[in-house]
Structure 1
C-alpha cells in the first residue's frame, strides 16, 4: 500500500547472488543489506489497513492488549474517586471484564456480552465507575470494526440503554453523568465503522490491482502462446518445403548415378546438385529473414512477407503447372503471404506423398472480393491423412488469420489430393 523508500546506493554493488532469477544488492563485503524499516506512520497505517480477523498471532497480541488494559483499569480503580473502592466481588467483576478481551477478535460479540455481564453488576454496586471504561470501549470498538454498520447501530443502542438504566438505578447524579459520557460510546462506534469502511476500501483497491495484474499476465501469456505458434508455423512452412525439395533432388542425383554408372549423365547430376544448392540458398535466406524478424524490437515489426510475385519460382522448383490471375490492383500483404504459404505447404505435401511422376496444378485466381487458391495433384503414392501432421493444420491457421477458409482432402472425381482456400481481400482477424 505504501511505497518503501529506495535502498541507498552508496557503497553497494549490484551483483547476482542466490542463483538464476535472484538478484540482490550486495554491500562491499558481499553481504545482503537489510532493507530500511518503515517509518512509524507507515507502520501505524499498515496496521490499521489490515483485516483484524486475518492478522497473524492476533490472540497473542490481544493478550498483551488485555494485560495493558488490566493495568490501566487497576490504576483507575485505585486513583480515581468516583465511587467506592472495589471489594473482592468488585475486583472479580473488574477482572472478568478484562480477561475476555484476549479473544476479542476471534469472538467479538461473545466478548462484548461477557464484558457487559461483568460491567453491569460492577456499576450497580457503585464501585469506581471509571475503572471498567477502557475494557468496555475496546470491546465496543472491536464489534464496530468487525461487524456490519446496522449491527453496530443496534449494539450501540443496547449498550447505551443498559448503561443508562443501571446508572439511574444507582443514583440520579450517576445517571446524568452516564448520559453525559455516553458520547464516548458513540464516538468509539463511529470510529470503528469508519476504520471498517477504510479497510474495505483498501481491500477493494488491492483486489482491483490484483485482478488487473492477473489480466496483464494472462494477456502476456496469450501473446507468448500466439507468438510461439506463429514461429512454429513459419519454421514449418520454411523448412518442410526446402527439406522435401532437397530430398527429391538428392534422389534424382542418386538415381542418375546408380542407373548406369558406365554412361554417367554428368549434365543431369550437375543440374540436380545445382538445384540442391539453389534450394539451400533460398532456405538460408528465408531463415535469415525470419530470424531477423524475431530479433527485431517492437510488437508491430512483422518483417518482409512472401508475396505472389515469388510464386512462379516456388511452383517451378516443384515441377508444377501454375495458373495465376490476380489483376493489376494491389492486394493486402497478409493475404498474399497466406496464399504463398498455403501453396508452399500444398506443394510440399504433393511432392512428399504423391509418389513418382506426380503432376501438380496450382490455380490462384482473384475474384471481386476474395482470392481463391487451389492446388491439386494426381498422386497415387502414400495417402495424406488430414490431421495426421501439422501441415494442414498450419494451412487452416493461415487461412483463418486473414478471415478465410480452407478445405483439404482426396479428390472426388479422380485420384490424388486437393487443397482449396478462399481468402477475403479485406482480411479480418478470425476469432478462436
Structure 2
C-alpha cells in the first residue's frame, strides 16, 4: 500500500523515543533517477576518507537487509528482526505502511550504532516521504527529475519537482544537478520560500569527462575552489560522472571534512551499485548464452533512465544488442522503449516473476512493436536468453532491462 503522509511515522517515532533525532549527521537525497548511484559514490568516497557511514536505500534487489547498511555492513537478520519487532510493538496495531515501519526500524538501528554520517534516500517523492522527518539534515541533494510515479507525484515535471523539493529545509544547503527548466524554477522557488541556500551544478561545480577520466571543479563562492582530476567512475555510463560529481559536491559542503584527492579517487573507483548497467560475468543465466556473448543488467524503469541508458548504448554498436524487457503495468513502457528502439536488434519480453503488477509478456511485446522494435514474447528470462542468439549471428550483448523488480529476480536466479 502507498499512502503518502507523515502523520503515521511521526506518531510511531514519538513512541520509539525519536530515533530520527539521534542519527549521525544526515545527507538526504531525492530525485527521479540516480539517487542510489549518487549515494553509492558518497558512501565509497566517505569510507575512503576513513568515515563510518550508515545508508538507507530502497527498494532492495534480493534481500531486504540491503536497504539498511550500518557503518558499512548490511544489517544482520537477528538485529533486523529485533528492531522490526520493537517497531511493531510500539505501533500497537495502528495503521502504518510497509515503508513507514521499515524506515522507523532503520532509524532505530542507526541511532544505536556509531557513525560519522547517515545517507538517506527518499522512497517516493520527498515532501510526504517517510524519510522526510529529519528536521535538520546537514545537506539535501536533488538528482535528475523527470516523470515517474505520476499517480502519486503529479502529471507534470513541475508537480513532480514540487514533491521532490519538499525535502529542502530552512538554512540547509541544497545541491542540485542540472534540471529541466520547469523543475529548476520550482526548486528555486522552494529554496527561496524556506530559506535554503541553493547550489546548482554549473554555478557551484562542474563534472566533465577529460582524457580517460573526469574533472571536478568547485566554484567559489558557492563551493570551495577545487580542481580534482579523477579516474572514470566504477559504474558504467556517462551519466555516472554527473552522479559522482553531485556526490563530491555534497562532500565539499561538509564542515570540517578534508577532501583528499587520492582517497576520493579510490572511492570513485570502488563504488558499487548492483543492477545499474551491471555486467554479469558468471552464473546460471550467463551460462545460457553462447560463448562470446555478454549479459548486462539495468534496473532503470522510466523515460529519463532510458535516455541515459541510450547514450551509453550508442557506444555498443560494435555487436548486436538484444533487449530482454519486462516492466510493471504502472510504468510508461513505450516512453521507456522509444529511446532504445534504434539501438537494439530486437526485444524479447517477459513478465516479472512473482509480481502481480507486471505487464504480461504479450503486452510488453506489443509495446515494443509500437515503437518500431521487433519483439517476441517469452515464457521467462531463461527462455529469452536461450532465444537471444540467432543461428549464424556473431556474438552479441543481451541487456535485461525495464524494472528493478526484474533486476532483483535476475540476480537471485543467476546466483
Query: Which interval holds the TM-score relative to the shorter structure?
Result: under 0.3
For the pair shown, the structure with the greater C-alpha radius of gyration is 1
* Larger strand proportion of the pair: 2
TM-score normalised by the chain length of structure 1: 0.20
* Larger helix proportion of the pair: 1
Query: Which structure is higher in RCO with an 8 Å CA cutoff and minimum separation 6?
Result: 2
TM-score normalised by the chain length of structure 2: 0.21
